[in-house]
Chains A and B, each alone.
Chain A
Amino acid sequence: MPASERCSKSSDATKKGAIEMETLNDNGLTMVENYYRDYGYRARALKQAGKRIMGYISAAAPVEIINAAGFTPVRIKGDPKEAVTKAYGSMETLVCPFLLNAFDLALKGKYDYLDGIVIPHTCDSVSRTYEVWKRNFPLPYYHFLNVPHLDGAPSLEFFTQILKTFIRSLEQFTGKEISKKNLDHAVLAYNELRQAMRDLYDLRKPDQPLISGIEMMKLLVAVKALPVDESTALIRQVSKEVKERKTSSSQKPLRVMIAGDQIDDTALVEIIEKTGAQVVMDDISVGSKLYYADIEVTHDPVDGIAEYYLEKVSLPTFYRDKGGSYDENLELRFGHLKRFISEFDVDAVILLVYKNCDPYGFEVPATTSYIESLGKPVFYVEDEYSSSSSSRLKTRIEAFIEMLTQERR
């Protein structure tokens, strides 16, 4: 269904939608399905009820500050099933295919409920197209957040100043001060969300995971367009529902971890799980990259927020080097993969990198050799953010999993 049709259909739903948080009454997974299928549905309802909604791009945007300013943050995503048709006239094809697709959706009206967009400096594709977004998809507020690539004391101090400039800019836009109390509250609320998500991830650890990779992917996406408290409640509800499941099979599936950046669609996971394998963990930017550390509660909450994004979110746009050896730096960059592989008993890793992605693309040999050094097979595939390539992807992934399944026999 084209995005424009989905938009008009969902606006009917929006009219019916209540401002109050929808009741969860044992239907968490159903709500996840709805939120996933009609991304932004809840945000549109909130907008109609007079709330403010702020879009943002990438995992490097400090949602805590956006929340503290009184906005519901909505992560901008694309739709691989939607062919890019409008964006080509104003954005170059050599940029990240996810970004091009998301921009195309914006031009088609998918994000017309936003009050503004925050675009962090993550990669060339994102930073060089800031003005393209601003000119072609005009909204009352835009902010370019100059996130540095480095950690360490000077970078941290610099980023703290960048965040303070961002706060002032939001205050100017809303005409309202962002108080320490609001920031403290937002930090705690997002930490609570992270804890709830980690608790849910734990339910993937048993031999028979209690939640499928497809369900998990839908949830990871759904919560990116909900108010934080609703997200946390939804995650807890889903945890409660899946804990009641009884495992039917005694056979342990092949356990796969997916890795990459903005994988925000179930297509890849569906291909994997249709083979009988199960996705039990991820290292993606809408998933675990955001949830496996908390923001430290600091006297000035901006310090804790700065430290979290620069030092605890494992994106390849953050350069990690504490002056140690190459192998020590590899641990700083990929050590979390070792922990995930061990804790989630991962049998194999599928690394999907989008074409035109410099930050991930330059990491491929280092990432794959690190995983292989742990004795785990890794399958690397470059793809475009489009379902048009899913048949090719399917054949290759099925062959990889079949090979591993035969080795296990």
Chain B
Amino acid sequence: MAEERKQRMTATAAAAKVPKMVRANFTANLKAKEEGRPVAFSFIVNCYDEILRAMDIVPAWAESYSGICAAKHDAGRFLEKAESQNFSRSLCTYATCGLGFEYWRNELGGEMPPNAPWGGIARPDFILGTGQMLCDPRYKWPQAVQHYMRDVPAYIGGFYWPPYDENMDQREVENYYLKYAVEELKGVIAFIEKQTQRKMDWDKLEEVTDLVDRTWDMFIDAYELRKVRPTPMDTGDAMNTMVPLAFMLGTQEAYDFYKDLYDELKDKIERKEGVAEDERYRLLWGAGLPPWFALGDFQYFNSKGAVFPVERTYREAERIDRLHLPKLSDPLERIALRWMRYWTHWYDAARKRKGSIPEVERLIEYIEDYQIDGVVFHKAFSCRTWHSGIVLQAQILKEVYREIPINHNYYKRCGNRYKYQ
């Protein structure tokens, strides 16, 4: 059973609002299901946010639910169910937690597993995944979960971006990547139209696409206020404030959240109110998923005068003007190119610095802009995509930039069996 836990302190009022917003997301998908409105399993950075919102599909965020189970120290029983089905414990535990949950629900004939955290997650009408370079569970999880919900159809769209090559300008091949991504987005729309008998409202899609552009800008503007000394917000809070960007993109609520955060941070800066009482060390959360079960650890850093004014993790946005996007009228092209230019944004900088790679250029940019003294890399044992290549990043950072203190942390991401190593 879930342990009763003390509420974690947050530095900002915005971050403190997030748990309620997450809960509202799950209430919304359960309510939609009850009312017969379409609910789709979706995954973070699926790139379908505008489409879902324009077609009034209620997303049920599968990873988010596993994160909730973990934060409540109640994931272990779902992971054990998954292991009983021979899912290896070396697989992504966001996925195996969700798979164990669905296996159990299927065993119960569609009933929610007993005492499911926050009342559970709705059984979806369909599943939306992606085949892309972000991670394998984005298409393997939907396929695997169908084993326990065989009547639920899935659509997996291809959404790739040009790989980094120091000898080739990615814009040389961008056109065919863009064409493919747009075709696949059309495929998602056709699939949803078929499942729901609803037609895409193209005007609405355009409006939502504009809103997402503005939200990305507002998110970056707010986050960049953290550059000042003392920083008014650090990574401990950012692991909450990522929620609207990751799970509510394309809603006015997400935009308003970052506007409120912006105003709050401005106010804190005016009052010179920092996260740490005596800010002495500024650290970059260089890579890796956070320890959801121990976000309070950031306060331990703060108590020692160390703050994290910036993090790579969950900062999946950039100011639109920095992406140098051409004027496009097709919203699908805008969505696709916005993501593609985001993923390839640090390529040019990497080509300019001998021996560098885009991931390291991004770190260097943050180190300089946020006056960073040291970098922390954090590794979760079951996530290959975020955590492979971190050793190399640390090595290259020191080679091409400067000797900067680097710390590597490891932990096992196993629900209520979480352990640091």
A interface list, Cβ under 8 A from B: 89-92, 94-95, 121, 123-125, 127-132, 135-136, 144, 146, 148-150, 154-155, 157-158, 161, 165, 169, 316-317, 319, 321, 323, 325-327, 329, 353, 355-359, 361-366, 368-369, 380, 382
Contact = CB atoms under 8 A, between A and B. Distances in A.
11 contacts: A89-B391, A136-B392, A161-B173, A165-B173, A329-B146, A355-B88, A358-B136, A362-B87, A362-B141, A365-B87, A380-B86
Contacts of A326: 146-147, 150-151
Contacts of A157: 179-180
A49 B164 CA distance: 34
Given A124-B136, A149-B156, A327-B150, A356 B384 contact: yes
A125 B87 contact: no
B383 to A, nearest CB: 8
A390 B400 CA distance: 43
Contacts of A353: 88
Contact of B391 (A90, A149, A316, A357): A90
* Most central of A91, A319, A357 by chain B CB within 10 Å: A319
B388 A92 contact: yes
Nearest to A326: B150
Contacts of A158: 158, 160, 176-177, 179-180
Given A146-B160, A158-B176, A326-B146, A365 B133 contact: no
B388 A364 contact: no
Given A131-B389, A161-B176, A361 B88 contact: yes
Contact of A365 (B144, B156, B180): B144
B91 A127 contact: no
Contacts of A355: 88, 90
Interface string B156-190: 11101011110010000100110110011001000
B91 A358 contact: yes
The size class of the interface chain B forms with chain A is 35 or more
B395 interface: yes
Nearest to B175: A161
A84 to B, nearest CB: 14
Nearest to B150: A326
B158 A150 contact: yes
B140 interface: yes
A142 B267 CA distance: 51
B294 interface: no
A154 B88 contact: no
Nearest to A333: B143
B139 interface: yes
A154 B382 contact: no
